[in-house]
């Protein structure tokens, strides 16, 4: 069964389960993209925390119906038109320069009461393209700290053994979708920086015992590059987002090489799992990560500095441990049980 077939099969049942109850009137309806991965998980976390605190009646699914006087939250989903009897919140994580909405920004803005993003860079880009600044709110991404947690050296060893990764390997992680479409992904999605990632890995593999651990669909470009360069790698396509936590337990470092991001979630996941992070200054990373304290940072496309940062981690166990310790502390305010108060007070409550 191909990755695409597995993906479709897994989501058919999910879509059927998420058909809304037309007789149950929600105060908030969070509209997802319908894919069983990150956006859906974020939406479910928001929904469950709002419900747990008794703040409002809420649902999260890819379907929406047009009851009057409720809040529609389009989470990383374009708002198709203006809903005159509802208030509209839209989340726009990052801006693709070929997004057709950029040429229709005034029309897009007229459909939205508040626009939410997770990074100052995204806010500034939207303003530059004509979105009204007074409608934009920047609230960071959260993470479920009941799912993501750090591990002991013994757990790390067992995890590597289960994945077939040599104990002595220096394991670099990349868990994302960085190929176009939902097939093999041989055409790279350049905003995610898979070419930069491979360039850095190839440099490191010349004299370090590098092993790359991949997850996510459409990784064909990266896998082909690593194969050609004779860099050992393991690719695991997971059945559920929560399983990513297990993969973090095998890592020595996580590498983000993106050119554009809204968050990325690997920032918070790395902190929460005690994984040293090396990243370009993208999205929320640029807003909240502290160079040499909670991550090692480089400018976008700076292959030299990304390579040097990972070498530093390989050679300096004390630096690795400092990043782990600081990251575990830094992530605490981003737990959904804490951060939901900001989402409620800054995004939801003003529109209800």
Predicted confidence at residue 240, as pLDDT, reads: 86
Residue from 265, 258, 304, 303 nearest 281 by CA? 258
H or E element that contains 136: strand 136-138
Rounded average pLDDT over 141-149: 96
Rounded average pLDDT over 22-45: 82
Residue from 180, 181, 171 nearest 236 by CA? 171
Rounded distance between C-alpha atoms, residue 289 and residue 194, angstroms: 22
Find out whether the peptide bond into 94 is cis, omega within 30 degrees of 0. Answer: no
**pLDDT tens string 215-257:** 999 999 999 999 999 999 999 988 888 899 999 999 999 999 9
* Lowest mean pLDDT across 11-25, 189-203, 229-243, 292-306: 11-25
Rounded distance between C-alpha atoms, residue 146 and residue 148, angstroms: 6
- Band (26; pLDDT cuts 50, 70, 90): confident
Tokens of 324: 């782990």
- Band (74; pLDDT cuts 50, 70, 90): very high
pTM: 0.91
Residue 63 pLDDT greater than 90, yes or no: no
Predicted confidence at residue 242, as pLDDT, reads: 87
- Band (65; pLDDT cuts 50, 70, 90): low
Predicted confidence at residue 34, as pLDDT, reads: 77
Predicted confidence at residue 4, as pLDDT, reads: 53
| Average pLDDT for the chain | 92
């Amino acid at each position: 069964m191909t990755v695409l077939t597995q993906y479709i099969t897994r989501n058919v049942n999910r879509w059927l389960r998420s058909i809304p109850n037309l007789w149950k009137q929600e105060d908030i309806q969070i509209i997802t993209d319908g894919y069983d991965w990150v956006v859906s998980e974020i939406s479910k976390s928001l929904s469950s925390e709002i419900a747990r605190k008794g703040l409002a009646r809420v649902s999260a699914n890819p379907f929406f119906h047009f009851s009057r006087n409720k809040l529609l939250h389009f989470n990383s989903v374009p708002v198709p038109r203006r809903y005159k009897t509802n208030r509209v919140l839209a989340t726009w994580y990052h801006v693709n320069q070929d997004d057709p909405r950029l040429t229709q920004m005034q029309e897009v803005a007229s459909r939205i009461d508040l626009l939410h993003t997770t990074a100052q860079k995204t806010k500034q880009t939207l303003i530059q393209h004509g979105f009204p600044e007074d409608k934009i709110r920047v609230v960071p991404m959260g993470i479920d700290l009941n799912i993501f947690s750090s591990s002991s050296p013994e757990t790390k060893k067992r995890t590597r053994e289960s994945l077939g990764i040599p104990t002595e390997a220096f394991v670099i992680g990349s868990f994302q979708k960085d190929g176009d479409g939902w097939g093999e992904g041989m055409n790279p999605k350049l905003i995610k920086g898979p070419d930069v990632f491979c360039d850095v890995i190839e440099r490191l593999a010349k004299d370090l015992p590098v092993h790359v651990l991949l997850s996510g669909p459409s990784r064909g470009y990266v896998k082909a590059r690593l194969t050609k360069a004779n860099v050992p790698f393991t690719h695991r396509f997971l059945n559920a987002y929560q399983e990513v936590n297990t993969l973090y337990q095998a890592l020595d470092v996580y590498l983000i090489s993106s050119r554009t991001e809204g968050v990325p979630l690997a920032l918070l996941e790395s902190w929460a799992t005690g994984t040293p992070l090396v990243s370009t200054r993208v999205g929320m990373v640029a807003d909240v990560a502290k160079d040499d304290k909670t991550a090692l940072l480089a400018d976008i496309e700076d292959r030299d500095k990304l390579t040097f940062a990972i070498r530093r981690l390989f050679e300096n166990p004390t630096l690795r441990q400092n990043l782990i310790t600081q990251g575990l502390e830094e992530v605490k305010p981003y737990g959904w049980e804490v951060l939901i108060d900001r989402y409620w007070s800054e995004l939801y409550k003003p529109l209800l």
